[in-house]
Structure 1
């Protein structure tokens, strides 16, 4: 379990994706986040004291479930850029699509991607319901919506091979236990940054809800 900022940095340096250039990009991302947080509340001010553990590693840990070269990555309700912007920073050749509907956060994501020189990042500045359907190899969402609602909104982006990575904090096991109406292989992985938190991961085969038949003519 990663409990300190020093441990978080040490863990990152051991990642195959985190070479010197990637670490410099992460340092710059943290710098940009601190600056922007003075203008808009991207993350809680208290969490900036543990930014490497709470935000950077909490996002980067998802890479352990994704084979290198897997793309495109779709991050729903990305907000301040977690986990999507961290993923793009560590894997700059990966196509990462960030979905965010709030204007000021859209502008922040675009500025950050430009500053970090991440040409394969695309920001979809719209509500998820208005984003055109396109298959994703990975779908992530951090604190975006309850699991059942999330699947209703985003299953159209998924194939039976799509890897879902959903950091759910302390509600992960409960949300998965309560999920009904879907064929899936989801399970909960222990988070590296919180002993009580989990990441729901797996694949989705589709809805198990019966198809409504029209009235006989």
Structure 2
């Protein structure tokens, strides 16, 4: 997937990818930029995000989600296929970004809002991402095999996140929540039988704000 003319945000994306030490192919770069364009286009009608300025969307959405690709790749290893569930995905953040960067992962984005699931299906079609699917329903109503990793971005408290998705987690799977920060109160409210085993601080290029990943898994035994 190539474009005839350089995208106005191509250099900024490449700089951000370099800062994240996340090497991707030119084809993947083009898909990421096209995805950003699709959000901007659909946002005019569907109000997918309150952020509308292109550079801000690149930093606060795209690079914010790209910052977790490395950590998730480390956790999931090289075994394929891996099944990822993105809960309350909205415009596909981070699910669509993960699907673009890791075509060997099977990514499902679930959202209770129909127009957002419709948008993600359009992204999958236009960007030719057979590994990206969208589900329009509440996550607690989902059925089927469990997922190796369940993620969310500003979806709910850790307690609600775990309680709503516990039945969707595969044996030996884990949860990872994208957060600005983790308070002691929220950590203490994590349900019994689930442990926070790592809080990973993230640096998002160009973003002067705290970001972290909260890793959780069921207790063994």
Q: TM-score, normalised by structure 1?
A: 0.82
Query: Structure 1 117/204 Cα, relative in aligned 2: closer, same or farther at 3 Å?
Result: same
SS in 1 for 2:45: coil
Change (3 A) 1:183 1:171: closer
Match of 1:27 in 2: 33
Instruction: Choose from 144, 149, 158 the match for 2:160.
Output: 149
**More strand, by proportion:** 2
Deviation, 1:57, is 1.8
Q: 2:67 aligns with which of 57, 61, 79?
A: 61
* Aligned-pair Cα RMSD in Å: 2.4
Question: Partners in 1 of 2:13 and 2:133 — Cα distance?
Answer: 28
2:146 alignment partner in structure 1: 135
1:12 corresponds, among 8, 17, 21, to 17
Cross-structure match for 2:7: none
Residue 51 of structure 1: how far off its partner (Å): 1.7
Bigger Rg over Cα: 1
The alignment covers a number of residue pairs equal to 202
Aligned match for 2:115, one of 100, 104, 109: 104
CA distance in 2, matches of 1:191, 1:6: 22
Contact 1:172/1:199, CA 8 A, preserved across alignment: no
- Aligned position for 2:198: 187
Distance 1:107 1:183, change over 3 A: closer
Cα distance in 1 for partners of 2:53, 2:140 equals 30
Unaligned runs of 5+ in 2: 1-9
Deviation at 1:157, TM superposition (A): 1.6
Q: In the alignment, is the contact (CA less than 8 A) between 2:85 and 2:149 conserved in 1?
A: yes
Per-residue CA deviations over 1:161-185 (Å, capped at 9, x if unaligned) read 2132210213465522432423324
Q: Deviations over 1:133-160 (max 9, x none)?
A: 4211111011111110111110112245
CA shift for structure 1 position 94: 1.5
Please say if residues 83 and 107 of structure 2, whose CA atoms lie closer than 8 Å, have aligned partners that are also in contact: yes
Q: Retained in 2: the 8 A contact 1:189–1:199?
A: yes
Unaligned runs of 5+ in 1: 209-217
CA distance in 1, matches of 2:86, 2:200: 19
Q: 1:35 to 1:165 in 2, by over 3 A?
A: same
Q: What's 1:213 paired with?
A: none
